[in-house]
Amino acid sequence: MTSRISDGSSDLSRWRTFLAVHTAGSFSAAARALGISQPAVTAHVQALERALGEQLFVRLPRGVEATPRADELATLLSGPFEAVAEAVVGATGMGPARQPPVRLGGAGELLAEVVVPALAPLVADGVRVQVVPGLSGELVEALRTGLLDLVVAAERPRGRSLVASPLTDETFALVAAPALAARQGLTPSRVVQDGPSALDGVPLLAYAPDVPIVRRYWRHVFGRRLEREPELTFPDLRAVRAAASAGAGVTVLPTYLCRDELDAGRLVLLLHPDDPPINTLYLARRPGGSTRPHVDRVSAAVAAAVQDTV
């Protein structure tokens, strides 16, 4: 015997909770979004799972992962629920509901140099955006738990709880100020001939003490392990670029970030490898869930900006 009535209207609040969990990626985040307790969210989801006879979410140490059936149901239900919400707003004469800010994460340099300028027309048109710079792994976890809506990630997120579309490949270049290069005799031909030993004694500038970008360049281009520590680290590649332009040392930068400096002669390429190291950037979001037009608009603007610039 069941308490559900034939038209299913008694389950509407449960399905609304289901969509909130699917969008947020966690029971706690869904509870905050809906303004109800976490036990109530759990009870709603469990009631739906019992009624359907199948699991909708896999419980993880942090958050939940939607099952394929949950993704299917979210895609089916999100549009009608959004339409009902709009109809209710219209019927009450409240006018269009103001959409919440789109929460966008990514590397600070990419966001500041490429993405934020591309969002200017959307902001002028009433779209609100909260930009959150940070490390890719931490931002992806925030996306899983519903704290972010979109993330430009430096690697493809794992698992089914997120969907990620490749945007473009960023390319990296070994650069230095022209005065430093001349003083040290650093020419592309010499670097090709001597390899990384040509850079011995030249200060190394990096994003972090473990020099992830420089280390990858050494391994990919020179086929050797980097065996030295940096003389200067700063967790912002724009500062590393400024230090290199001022003649502090050599570094490896994404080409989009040093293109203007190379064109203006403030930096020079120390090597022209036929196969430079690249890294694929992805735009990640949670699948299904509420169809928020502003999230879609920001997503499209971010994708176009990164693909055109990087």
- DSSP string over 194-243: HGGGGGTTS-BEESSTT-HHHHHHIIIII-S------SEE-S-HHHHHHH
Do residues 290 and 19 touch, judged by C-beta distance below 8 A? yes
Do residues 74 and 66 touch, judged by C-beta distance below 8 A? yes
The residue ranges of every structural domain in the chain are: 9-91, 102-162+286-309, 170-276
pLDDT > 70 in the chain, percent: 90
Q: Helix (H, G, I), strand (E, B), or coil: what is residue 53?
A: coil
Check pLDDT > 70 for residue 191: yes
For the entire predicted model, the pTM comes to 0.75
Q: At 65, is the pLDDT very low, low, confident or very high (cuts 50, 70, 90)?
A: confident
Check pLDDT > 90 for residue 5: no
Highest mean pLDDT range out of 61-70, 85-94, 135-144, 275-284?
Answer: 275-284
pLDDT at 183: 96
Output the six-digit token pair for 60: 């993880």
pLDDT in tens, 69-128: 888 888 788 767 766 766 665 566 555 556 789 999 999 999 999 999 999 999 999 999
pLDDT at 13: 87
Do residues 188 and 271 touch, judged by C-beta distance below 8 A? yes
Mean per-residue pLDDT, 263-269: 98
pLDDT at 92: 60
CATH of 170-276, one of 1.10.287.130, 2.70.98.60, 3.40.190.10, 1.10.150.120: 3.40.190.10
pLDDT in tens, 196-209: 999 999 999 999 99
pLDDT at 145: 76
Average pLDDT, the chain: 88
pLDDT in tens, 26-63: 888 888 878 888 999 999 999 999 999 999 989 888 78
pLDDT: which is higher, 46 or 290: 46
The mean-pLDDT minimum among 81-95, 142-156, 276-290 falls in: 81-95
Q: How far apart are CA 57 and CA 286, in angstroms?
A: 14
Do residues 44 and 18 touch, judged by C-beta distance below 8 A? yes
Q: At 2, is the pLDDT very low, low, confident or very high (cuts 50, 70, 90)?
A: very low
User: Rounded to whole angstroms, what are the CA distances from 227 to 20, 186, 218, 231?
Assistant: 49, 20, 10, 13
Mean per-residue pLDDT, 133-144: 90
Q: What is the CATH number of domain 102-162+286-309?
A: 3.40.190
Residue 171, burial from CB neighbour count under 10 angstroms (0-12, 13-18, 19+) = middle
H or E stretch including 103? strand 102-106
Q: At 9, is the pLDDT very low, low, confident or very high (cuts 50, 70, 90)?
A: low
Check pLDDT > 70 for residue 180: yes
Check pLDDT > 50 for residue 156: yes
Same fold, 9-91 and 170-276: no
Check pLDDT > 90 for residue 226: yes
CATH topology classification for 9-91: Arc Repressor Mutant, subunit A (1.10.10)
pLDDT > 90 in the chain, percent: 64
pLDDT: which is higher, 18 or 117: 117
pLDDT at 110: 97
pLDDT at 146: 77
